[in-house]
Structure 1
Amino acid sequence: MTLTILRYPDPGLTRTCAPVTDFGPKLREFADQLYAAMRAAPGVGITAAHVGHFLRLVVLDLPELGGRRDFVNPQILSQSSEMMSHQEGSVSMPGAVDIVTRPAAIRLSYQDLEGMPHEVDMSGFPAICMQHEIDQLDGIFWLQRLSRLKRERLIKKWQKEQR
Protein backbone atom coordinates (compact mmCIF):
# COMPACT_ATOMS: atom_id res chain seq x y z
CA MET A 1 0.00 0.00 0.00
CA THR A 2 1.34 3.43 -0.94
CA LEU A 3 0.72 6.21 1.53
CA THR A 4 -0.38 9.65 0.35
CA ILE A 5 1.19 12.64 2.06
CA LEU A 6 -1.29 15.32 3.16
CA ARG A 7 -0.66 18.68 1.53
CA TYR A 8 -0.79 22.04 3.30
CA PRO A 9 -3.35 23.44 4.28
CA ASP A 10 -5.01 20.06 5.01
CA PRO A 11 -6.72 20.33 8.44
CA GLY A 12 -5.16 17.00 9.43
CA LEU A 13 -1.84 18.82 9.74
CA THR A 14 -3.20 20.61 12.83
CA ARG A 15 -4.55 17.50 14.58
CA THR A 16 -2.99 16.22 17.78
CA CYS A 17 -1.89 12.59 17.57
CA ALA A 18 -2.84 9.81 19.99
CA PRO A 19 -0.25 7.59 21.67
CA VAL A 20 0.58 4.28 19.97
CA THR A 21 -0.69 1.39 22.10
CA ASP A 22 -0.53 -1.54 19.64
CA PHE A 23 3.05 -2.69 19.07
CA GLY A 24 2.22 -5.62 16.80
CA PRO A 25 3.56 -6.42 13.30
CA LYS A 26 1.16 -3.90 11.73
CA LEU A 27 3.10 -1.05 13.39
CA ARG A 28 6.39 -2.20 11.81
CA GLU A 29 4.69 -2.59 8.42
CA PHE A 30 3.20 0.91 8.73
CA ALA A 31 6.59 2.37 9.78
CA ASP A 32 8.15 0.78 6.66
CA GLN A 33 5.44 2.34 4.45
CA LEU A 34 5.95 5.69 6.19
CA TYR A 35 9.70 5.46 5.54
CA ALA A 36 9.06 4.72 1.83
CA ALA A 37 6.71 7.72 1.56
CA MET A 38 9.32 9.95 3.21
CA ARG A 39 12.11 8.78 0.87
CA ALA A 40 9.86 9.32 -2.17
CA ALA A 41 8.89 12.85 -1.07
CA PRO A 42 11.94 13.28 -0.56
CA GLY A 43 12.52 14.14 3.08
CA VAL A 44 14.62 13.28 6.13
CA GLY A 45 11.74 13.05 8.62
CA ILE A 46 8.05 12.19 8.61
CA THR A 47 5.25 11.51 11.09
CA ALA A 48 2.19 9.31 10.86
CA ALA A 49 0.16 12.56 10.84
CA HIS A 50 1.73 13.54 7.51
CA VAL A 51 -0.18 10.65 5.91
CA GLY A 52 -3.43 11.08 7.84
CA HIS A 53 -2.79 8.47 10.57
CA PHE A 54 -2.97 10.40 13.83
CA LEU A 55 -0.62 8.31 15.95
CA ARG A 56 2.61 9.37 17.69
CA LEU A 57 5.14 7.81 15.30
CA VAL A 58 8.19 9.56 13.83
CA VAL A 59 10.63 8.17 11.26
CA LEU A 60 13.94 9.99 10.75
CA ASP A 61 16.71 9.12 8.30
CA LEU A 62 19.84 11.07 9.22
CA PRO A 63 23.53 10.14 8.90
CA GLU A 64 24.04 11.61 12.41
CA LEU A 65 21.68 8.92 13.77
CA GLY A 66 23.23 6.12 11.71
CA GLY A 67 20.42 6.16 9.12
CA ARG A 68 16.78 5.28 9.68
CA ARG A 69 15.43 5.47 13.22
CA ASP A 70 11.84 4.94 14.37
CA PHE A 71 10.50 6.80 17.41
CA VAL A 72 7.18 5.78 18.94
CA ASN A 73 5.50 8.11 21.46
CA PRO A 74 8.50 10.51 21.58
CA GLN A 75 8.53 13.06 24.37
CA ILE A 76 11.01 15.83 25.11
CA LEU A 77 12.17 15.49 28.72
CA SER A 78 14.48 18.53 28.73
CA GLN A 79 16.00 21.04 26.36
CA SER A 80 19.05 23.28 26.31
CA SER A 81 18.87 27.00 26.85
CA GLU A 82 21.26 27.35 23.90
CA MET A 83 19.32 27.98 20.69
CA MET A 84 20.05 27.06 17.08
CA SER A 85 18.60 28.41 13.84
CA HIS A 86 18.14 26.09 10.89
CA GLN A 87 16.27 26.00 7.60
CA GLU A 88 13.09 23.91 7.90
CA GLY A 89 10.43 22.71 5.51
CA SER A 90 7.88 19.89 5.26
CA VAL A 91 7.03 16.94 3.04
CA SER A 92 3.49 18.41 3.20
CA MET A 93 4.66 21.69 1.68
CA PRO A 94 7.40 20.79 -0.81
CA GLY A 95 9.69 23.62 -1.85
CA ALA A 96 8.75 25.97 1.01
CA VAL A 97 11.57 26.59 3.50
CA ASP A 98 12.47 29.20 6.09
CA ILE A 99 14.69 29.64 9.15
CA VAL A 100 13.30 28.42 12.50
CA THR A 101 15.06 28.81 15.87
CA ARG A 102 14.80 25.99 18.42
CA PRO A 103 16.74 24.61 21.41
CA ALA A 104 20.09 23.19 20.17
CA ALA A 105 19.90 20.03 22.33
CA ILE A 106 17.18 17.86 23.85
CA ARG A 107 16.78 14.78 26.05
CA LEU A 108 14.17 12.49 24.51
CA SER A 109 12.18 9.52 25.78
CA TYR A 110 10.53 7.20 23.25
CA GLN A 111 9.62 3.61 22.55
CA ASP A 112 10.91 1.46 19.71
CA LEU A 113 8.60 -0.49 17.37
CA GLU A 114 8.49 -3.35 19.91
CA GLY A 115 7.40 -0.99 22.70
CA MET A 116 10.72 -0.99 24.58
CA PRO A 117 11.42 2.36 26.32
CA HIS A 118 14.55 4.39 25.55
CA GLU A 119 16.09 7.75 26.40
CA VAL A 120 18.56 9.58 24.18
CA ASP A 121 20.34 12.93 24.00
CA MET A 122 20.19 14.72 20.67
CA SER A 123 21.94 17.88 19.56
CA GLY A 124 22.33 19.91 16.40
CA PHE A 125 20.39 18.93 13.29
CA PRO A 126 18.86 15.69 14.74
CA ALA A 127 17.52 17.68 17.73
CA ILE A 128 16.02 20.28 15.37
CA CYS A 129 14.40 17.54 13.24
CA MET A 130 12.94 15.74 16.25
CA GLN A 131 11.46 18.95 17.68
CA HIS A 132 9.96 19.72 14.26
CA GLU A 133 8.35 16.25 14.06
CA ILE A 134 7.10 16.32 17.68
CA ASP A 135 5.48 19.69 16.89
CA GLN A 136 3.67 17.92 14.02
CA LEU A 137 2.48 15.18 16.40
CA ASP A 138 1.12 17.96 18.63
CA GLY A 139 -0.76 19.55 15.71
CA ILE A 140 1.74 22.40 15.29
CA PHE A 141 2.64 22.77 11.61
CA TRP A 142 6.13 24.27 11.26
CA LEU A 143 4.80 27.51 9.72
CA GLN A 144 3.39 28.40 13.14
CA ARG A 145 7.02 28.82 14.34
CA LEU A 146 7.46 31.77 11.91
CA SER A 147 6.42 35.37 12.49
CA ARG A 148 3.04 36.22 10.98
CA LEU A 149 4.68 38.32 8.27
CA LYS A 150 7.20 35.61 7.29
CA ARG A 151 4.45 32.97 7.34
CA GLU A 152 2.07 34.98 5.13
CA ARG A 153 4.85 35.78 2.61
CA LEU A 154 5.96 32.16 2.45
CA ILE A 155 2.40 30.83 1.99
CA LYS A 156 1.67 33.36 -0.75
CA LYS A 157 4.90 32.49 -2.58
CA TRP A 158 4.32 28.74 -2.20
CA GLN A 159 0.69 28.95 -3.42
CA LYS A 160 1.84 30.91 -6.47
CA GLU A 161 4.43 28.21 -7.26
CA GLN A 162 1.77 25.48 -6.94
CA ARG A 163 -0.41 27.00 -9.70
Structure 2
Amino acid sequence: MEKLDIVLYPEKGLREICTPVDAMSDELDKLIDDMFYTMYDAPGIGLAAPQVAVQQRVIVVDVSESKDQPIALINPEIIRSAGEITWEEGCLSIPGVYGKVTRPSDILVRGMDRDGKMVEFEANDLLAVCLQHEIDHLNGKLFVDHMSGLKRTRALQKFKKLQQEQTEE
Protein backbone atom coordinates (compact mmCIF):
# COMPACT_ATOMS: atom_id res chain seq x y z
CA MET A 1 0.00 0.00 0.00
CA GLU A 2 1.03 3.54 -0.66
CA LYS A 3 0.52 6.60 1.49
CA LEU A 4 -1.11 9.28 -0.64
CA ASP A 5 -0.68 13.04 -0.28
CA ILE A 6 -3.71 14.71 1.30
CA VAL A 7 -4.81 17.81 -0.58
CA LEU A 8 -5.18 20.89 1.63
CA TYR A 9 -7.68 23.74 1.47
CA PRO A 10 -7.98 25.89 -0.68
CA GLU A 11 -7.00 23.40 -3.43
CA LYS A 12 -9.68 23.87 -6.12
CA GLY A 13 -10.25 20.11 -6.51
CA LEU A 14 -11.89 20.14 -3.08
CA ARG A 15 -14.65 22.32 -4.53
CA GLU A 16 -15.40 20.19 -7.59
CA ILE A 17 -18.22 17.69 -8.03
CA CYS A 18 -16.68 14.25 -8.55
CA THR A 19 -17.32 11.89 -11.45
CA PRO A 20 -19.31 8.69 -10.82
CA VAL A 21 -17.39 5.42 -11.09
CA ASP A 22 -18.60 3.11 -13.88
CA ALA A 23 -17.27 -0.21 -12.60
CA MET A 24 -14.78 -1.78 -10.24
CA SER A 25 -11.22 -2.18 -11.49
CA ASP A 26 -7.81 -3.15 -10.17
CA GLU A 27 -6.86 0.55 -10.13
CA LEU A 28 -9.93 1.41 -8.06
CA ASP A 29 -9.22 -1.45 -5.66
CA LYS A 30 -5.65 -0.16 -5.20
CA LEU A 31 -6.97 3.39 -4.68
CA ILE A 32 -9.27 2.15 -1.91
CA ASP A 33 -6.40 0.28 -0.20
CA ASP A 34 -4.19 3.36 -0.46
CA MET A 35 -6.98 5.60 0.86
CA PHE A 36 -7.47 3.37 3.92
CA TYR A 37 -3.71 3.32 4.55
CA THR A 38 -3.55 7.12 4.23
CA MET A 39 -6.61 7.66 6.44
CA TYR A 40 -5.33 5.41 9.24
CA ASP A 41 -1.88 6.97 9.05
CA ALA A 42 -3.19 10.57 9.22
CA PRO A 43 -4.96 9.56 11.61
CA GLY A 44 -8.55 10.08 10.54
CA ILE A 45 -11.93 8.36 10.49
CA GLY A 46 -12.87 9.16 6.89
CA LEU A 47 -11.34 10.12 3.58
CA ALA A 48 -12.84 11.02 0.21
CA ALA A 49 -11.08 10.58 -3.14
CA PRO A 50 -10.88 14.32 -3.91
CA GLN A 51 -8.82 14.69 -0.72
CA VAL A 52 -6.11 12.65 -2.45
CA ALA A 53 -6.54 14.48 -5.79
CA VAL A 54 -8.77 11.85 -7.42
CA GLN A 55 -12.02 13.33 -8.72
CA GLN A 56 -14.10 10.15 -8.41
CA ARG A 57 -17.02 9.30 -6.13
CA VAL A 58 -15.17 7.06 -3.66
CA ILE A 59 -15.04 7.28 0.15
CA VAL A 60 -13.56 5.24 2.96
CA VAL A 61 -14.53 5.43 6.63
CA ASP A 62 -13.83 3.61 9.88
CA VAL A 63 -15.20 5.14 13.07
CA SER A 64 -14.38 2.13 15.28
CA GLU A 65 -12.03 2.61 18.22
CA SER A 66 -10.06 -0.48 17.17
CA LYS A 67 -9.86 0.58 13.49
CA ASP A 68 -11.19 -2.78 12.34
CA GLN A 69 -14.52 -1.83 10.72
CA PRO A 70 -13.52 -0.32 7.37
CA ILE A 71 -16.26 0.75 4.98
CA ALA A 72 -15.52 1.63 1.36
CA LEU A 73 -18.32 3.06 -0.77
CA ILE A 74 -18.34 3.89 -4.45
CA ASN A 75 -20.95 6.34 -5.76
CA PRO A 76 -22.51 6.70 -2.28
CA GLU A 77 -25.77 8.54 -1.86
CA ILE A 78 -28.00 9.35 1.06
CA ILE A 79 -31.46 7.91 0.45
CA ARG A 80 -33.16 9.07 3.62
CA SER A 81 -32.28 11.15 6.65
CA ALA A 82 -33.94 11.98 9.95
CA GLY A 83 -33.19 13.46 13.34
CA GLU A 84 -30.53 15.96 14.21
CA ILE A 85 -27.12 15.80 15.83
CA THR A 86 -24.44 18.40 16.45
CA TRP A 87 -20.87 17.14 16.31
CA GLU A 88 -17.45 18.77 16.56
CA GLU A 89 -16.01 18.04 13.11
CA GLY A 90 -12.55 18.34 11.68
CA CYS A 91 -11.08 17.52 8.30
CA LEU A 92 -7.79 16.08 7.08
CA SER A 93 -7.81 18.73 4.33
CA ILE A 94 -8.13 21.55 6.90
CA PRO A 95 -5.89 20.23 9.70
CA GLY A 96 -6.06 21.91 13.08
CA VAL A 97 -9.51 23.41 12.50
CA TYR A 98 -12.64 22.12 14.22
CA GLY A 99 -16.21 23.33 14.42
CA LYS A 100 -19.66 22.28 15.52
CA VAL A 101 -21.82 21.11 12.63
CA THR A 102 -25.46 20.06 12.79
CA ARG A 103 -26.51 17.24 10.48
CA PRO A 104 -29.16 14.50 10.36
CA SER A 105 -28.46 11.90 13.07
CA ASP A 106 -29.88 8.93 11.18
CA ILE A 107 -29.35 8.19 7.50
CA LEU A 108 -29.92 5.45 4.97
CA VAL A 109 -26.99 5.27 2.56
CA ARG A 110 -26.59 3.34 -0.68
CA GLY A 111 -23.51 2.68 -2.77
CA MET A 112 -21.35 0.04 -4.34
CA ASP A 113 -18.93 -1.89 -2.15
CA ARG A 114 -15.44 -2.80 -3.27
CA ASP A 115 -16.73 -6.11 -4.68
CA GLY A 116 -18.97 -4.16 -7.07
CA LYS A 117 -22.13 -5.13 -5.19
CA MET A 118 -24.82 -2.55 -4.36
CA VAL A 119 -25.23 -2.17 -0.61
CA GLU A 120 -27.67 -0.19 1.48
CA PHE A 121 -27.47 0.32 5.23
CA GLU A 122 -28.58 2.59 8.04
CA ALA A 123 -26.10 4.67 9.99
CA ASN A 124 -26.50 6.88 13.02
CA ASP A 125 -24.55 9.19 15.26
CA LEU A 126 -20.79 9.35 14.48
CA LEU A 127 -20.99 6.98 11.49
CA ALA A 128 -23.83 9.04 10.00
CA VAL A 129 -21.87 12.26 10.56
CA CYS A 130 -18.72 10.78 9.02
CA LEU A 131 -20.53 9.41 5.95
CA GLN A 132 -22.27 12.74 5.35
CA HIS A 133 -18.98 14.62 5.75
CA GLU A 134 -17.24 12.39 3.18
CA ILE A 135 -20.17 12.43 0.74
CA ASP A 136 -20.13 16.23 0.98
CA HIS A 137 -16.52 16.11 -0.28
CA LEU A 138 -17.73 14.30 -3.41
CA ASN A 139 -20.05 17.24 -4.04
CA GLY A 140 -17.39 19.91 -3.53
CA LYS A 141 -18.62 20.84 -0.06
CA LEU A 142 -16.55 21.19 3.12
CA PHE A 143 -17.66 20.91 6.75
CA VAL A 144 -17.01 24.64 7.25
CA ASP A 145 -19.76 25.32 4.67
CA HIS A 146 -22.26 24.11 7.29
CA MET A 147 -21.08 26.74 9.78
CA SER A 148 -22.35 30.32 10.07
CA GLY A 149 -20.51 32.89 7.97
CA LEU A 150 -18.67 34.32 10.97
CA LYS A 151 -17.61 30.92 12.35
CA ARG A 152 -16.52 29.77 8.88
CA THR A 153 -14.43 32.93 8.39
CA ARG A 154 -12.79 32.49 11.80
CA ALA A 155 -12.09 28.80 11.16
CA LEU A 156 -10.48 29.47 7.78
CA GLN A 157 -8.46 32.39 9.21
CA LYS A 158 -7.19 30.02 11.92
CA PHE A 159 -6.21 27.49 9.25
CA LYS A 160 -4.37 30.14 7.24
CA LYS A 161 -2.50 31.22 10.38
CA LEU A 162 -1.57 27.60 11.21
CA GLN A 163 -0.29 27.09 7.65
CA GLN A 164 1.81 30.28 7.86
CA GLU A 165 3.28 29.17 11.20
CA GLN A 166 4.22 25.78 9.74
CA THR A 167 5.85 27.45 6.73
CA GLU A 168 7.93 29.68 9.02
CA GLU A 169 9.23 26.70 11.04
Is TM (by shorter chain) over 0.5? yes
Question: SS of the counterpart of 1:17?
Answer: coil
Per the TM alignment, residue 161 of structure 1 is displaced from its structure 2 partner at its CA by: 1.9
Per the TM alignment, residue 2 of structure 1 is displaced from its structure 2 partner at its CA by: 3.5
1:1-163 alignment runs, 5 A limit: 1-63=2-64, 67-80=69-82, 82-163=83-164
If the length of structure 2 is used for normalisation, what is the TM-score? Answer: 0.91
Unaligned runs of 5+ in 2: 165-169
Write the distance in 1 (CA, Å) between the matches of 2:109 and 2:88.
22
Unaligned runs of 5+ in 1: none
Question: SS of the counterpart of 2:96?
Answer: coil
Q: Calculate percent identity across the aligned residue pairs.
A: 34
Per the TM alignment, residue 37 of structure 1 is displaced from its structure 2 partner at its CA by: 1.2
Write the distance in 2 (CA, Å) between the matches of 1:30 and 1:61.
16
> How far does the alpha carbon of each residue in 1:6-64 deviate from its partner, in whole angstroms, 9 at most, with x for none?
10111111010111113022211110111111122211100111011011111001228
If the length of structure 1 is used for normalisation, what is the TM-score? Answer: 0.94
> How far does the alpha carbon of each residue in 1:49-94 deviate from its partner, in whole angstroms, 9 at most, with x for none?
10110111110012289511111111100100x2100011111011
Write the distance in 1 (CA, Å) between the matches of 2:42 and 2:13.
18
User: Which letter does structure 2 place at the counterpart of 1:59?
Assistant: V
Write the distance in 2 (CA, Å) between the matches of 1:44 and 1:149.
27
> How far does the alpha carbon of each residue in 1:117-158 deviate from its partner, in whole angstroms, 9 at most, with x for none?
011001111001101111110111111111110011111122
Contact kept? 1:24, 1:114, Cα under 8 Å: no
Write the distance in 2 (CA, Å) between the matches of 1:10 and 1:142.
15
Write the distance in 2 (CA, Å) between the matches of 1:38 and 1:66.
13
Contact kept? 1:13, 1:50, Cα under 8 Å: yes
Q: Structure 1 segments of 4 or more deviating over 4 A?
A: none
Cα RMSD (Å) of the superposition?
1.4
User: Which letter does structure 2 place at the counterpart of 1:41?
Assistant: A
Question: SS of the counterpart of 1:62?
Answer: coil
Contact kept? 1:49, 1:137, Cα under 8 Å: yes
- Across the two proteins, how many residue pairs are aligned to each other? 162
